[in-house]
Amino acid sequence: MLSIYSTLTREQRPFESLEPGRVRMYVCGVTVYDYCHIGHGRTFVAFDVVRRWLEVSGYKVTFVRNITDVDDKIIRRAAERGVTTDELTDEFARAMQEDMLALGCLAPTFEPRATQYIPQMLNLIGKLEEKGFAYHAADGDVDYAVRKFPNYGRLSGKSIDDLQSGARVQEREGKHDPLDFVLWKSAKPGEPQWDSKWGCGRPGWHIECSAMAMDLLGETIDTHGGGPDLVFPHHENEIAQSEAATGHQFARTWMHSGPLRVRSADGKEEKMSKSLGNFWTIRDALKETNAAYGEGCGAEVLRFFLLRSQYRSPITFSSVLIEEAHKALVRLYTALKGRAADRAALDWNEPFAARFKAAMDDDFNTALAVSVLFELATEINRTGSPELVRQLLGLGRILNILGMDPEIFLQGGAEASDDASRIEGLIEERALAKKAKNFARADEIRKSLLAEGIELQDGAAGTTWRRI
């Protein structure tokens, strides 16, 4: 039976959806003012796998991933570039969608933009004001009175009395308490703004997700997820405002991906930061992996790298570790090369499939699930069993890997490329040299290709090649 760890309860418990056979799932998306970074990729691949496994487990999943398209960062970046906020957010929303597609993530069921849900946000703020949880501050903003919500800090494990105004809490004249957070920001010249009973303004960040989630999924949802940086204050504030407004539990299970750090060439591990010069966008990573392992192959290598860690565990990103992931993926594709699968359906009673299922049911433990794939590959190499080939392909498909033609992947995606034609020409020249007993030339060709990272494999059916 599937069990999931909840950040809120700090326990892993058997999963039971609010409605049998259906899961309402919300994952916080990105603020679209720049390209997505590899940390976003780690989070969204993780929740893509969660969704896929829930569907394999028989649930109909309604998956919502929002787009934050009004925010201080968006306004500043648009001003810097001399474009409208709509132009900026359209550009980077498209880029985000392209990046997620490249990483093999399914499109969400709904992908709401914050600016499309202003009426729902205003309605929610109005409810909070009526119930005494929100107040109209002297500076024109509408703020949430944090101390009125008795369970504030439960998600993050922070005591309200210990919370201090600092890096994650914004001080502002007009607040009743430094911990209070803004629900509605009064209008400033040149900013996007909407009319409200409190005057023209725009929503605060936290109210956006609550309004979108409840409108699309209901007042109580099954799972709410996001990156580790969202636990406090964003998700803490979502709980406070949502539950204060409705009187109901907002999310039954809170899920968060683990932190990502970057390893430098000297082995030092640091938090990814532009100021440290170790910042990787998904596009940067895809460009490097495609260059290293072949156009079209790099994305699968990157996804596979992310899958080798359980979603809650810390993960370290570096070119060396990506290379290790590629070598591991080569092992799986090598086991599949030239082998056909039988036509039976995947049977969860089969030993390998059963171990894979047990791993995934244990809080989506992809690290352990991937280890089962390597066990399968070892047995395939030993037996050549079509039954095991089918299992490896079927289990890989669940994680959305191993979908390429093995030979094309092993050749670096060089299908019909000029480089592939050149290599095939050299292989033909080598064959002719061997036929003419010119073994020195044949060996020279083999060595020159090996120096390029291309390994020749002679067999009964002729010579094949792969990138190493």
Question: What radius of gyration do the chain's Cα atoms show?
Answer: 26
Task: Verify that 327 and 302 share a domain, yes or no.
Answer: yes
User: What was the pLDDT predicted at 431?
Assistant: 78
Is 227 found in the same domain as 166? yes
Sequence-distant (6+) residues with CB within 8 A of 147 are 160, 177, 179
Do 406 and 426 share a domain, yes or no? no
The whole-angstrom separation of Cα 287 and Cα 187 is 41
364 is a domain residue = yes
Nearest by Cα to 423 from 435, 432, 411 = 411
**How many domains does the chain fold into?**
3
On whether both 74 and 211 belong to a single domain, the answer is yes
Q: Which residue has the tokens 């600092």?
A: 166
In this structure, which amino acid lies at residue 328? Answer: A
* pLDDT exceeds 60 at position 461: no
**pLDDT given at position 402:** 97
Model confidence at 418: pLDDT above 70: no
Q: Between vectors from CA 424 to CA 423 and to CA 428, what angle results, nearest 5°?
A: 115
Is 292 among the domain residues? yes
Residue with the larger pLDDT of the pair 56 and 448: 56
Tell me: do 346 and 425 sit in the same domain. no
Both tokens of residue 239? 């709980």
* pLDDT per position as a tens digit, 19-75: 999 999 999 999 999 999 999 999 999 999 999 999 999 999 999 999 999 999 999
Whether 377 is covered by a domain: the verdict is yes
The answer to whether residue 1 is domain-embedded is: no
From 410, 430, 449, the end of a domain falls on 410
Residue 38: which of 283, 289, 226, 365 has the closest Cα?
283
Q: What is the CATH number of the domain that holds 404?
A: 1.20.120.640
For position 94, which CATH number holds?
3.40.50.620
Look at the alpha carbons of 150, 154, 155, 156 in this order and tell me if their dihedral is positive or negative.
positive
Higher pLDDT, 71 or 273: 71
Which 3 state secondary structure label does DSSP give 265?
coil
Q: Are residues 350 and 459 in the same domain?
A: no
Asked if residue 336 and residue 285 are part of one domain, the reply reads yes
Least confident range from 265-274, 294-303, 307-316, 325-334: namely 265-274
Write down the pLDDT at residue 167. 38
Q: In this model, does residue 445 exceed pLDDT 50?
A: yes
pLDDT category at 414 given cuts 50, 70, 90 is low
Residues 62 and 131 in one domain: yes
Q: What is the pLDDT of residue 170?
A: 58
Q: Give a yes or no: residue 34 inside a domain.
A: yes
Q: Looking at the predicted structure, is the pLDDT value of residue 388 above 90?
A: yes
Asked whether residue 6 is domain-assigned, the answer is no
Neighbour-count burial of 439, counting CB atoms closer than 10 A to its CB (0-12 exposed, 13-18 middle, 19+ buried): exposed
User: Measured between alpha carbons, how far is 429 from 424 in angstroms, rounded to an integer?
Assistant: 9
Q: Indicate yes or no: pTM above 0.85.
A: yes
| Confidence class for position 440, pLDDT limits 50, 70, 90 | confident
Last residue of a domain, one of 256, 279, 300: 256
Q: What is the pLDDT of residue 435?
A: 77
Q: Are residues 461 and 332 in the same domain?
A: no
- Per the CB < 8 A criterion, the answer to whether 269 and 262 are in contact is yes
Residue 233 and residue 187 share a domain: yes
The answer as to whether 353 is a domain residue is yes
Q: Which pLDDT score is estimated for 166?
A: 44
> Taking all residues of the chain, what is their mean pLDDT, rounded to a whole number?
92
Final residue of a structural domain among 371, 394, 410: 410
Q: At 172, is the pLDDT very low, low, confident or very high (cuts 50, 70, 90)?
A: low
162 has a pLDDT exceeding 80: no
Please state whether the peptide bond connecting residue 233 to the residue before it is cis, i.e. omega within 30 degrees of 0. Answer: yes
Task: Note whether 213 and 158 are same-domain residues.
Answer: yes
> Mean per-residue pLDDT for 257-277?
84
pLDDT score for 438:
82
In the predicted structure, residue 173 carries a pLDDT above the cut 80: no
- Examine residue 345 and state whether it is found in any structural domain, yes or no: yes
Report the candidate in 466, 467, 464, 468 with the shortest Cα–Cα distance to residue 427. Answer: 464
Q: Is the dihedral of CA 40, 42, 45, 50 positive or negative?
A: negative
Residues 72 and 121 in one domain: yes
User: Which domain does 183 fall in, by range?
Assistant: 15-256
- The tens digit of pLDDT for each residue in 180-213 reads 999 999 999 999 999 999 999 999 999 999 999 9
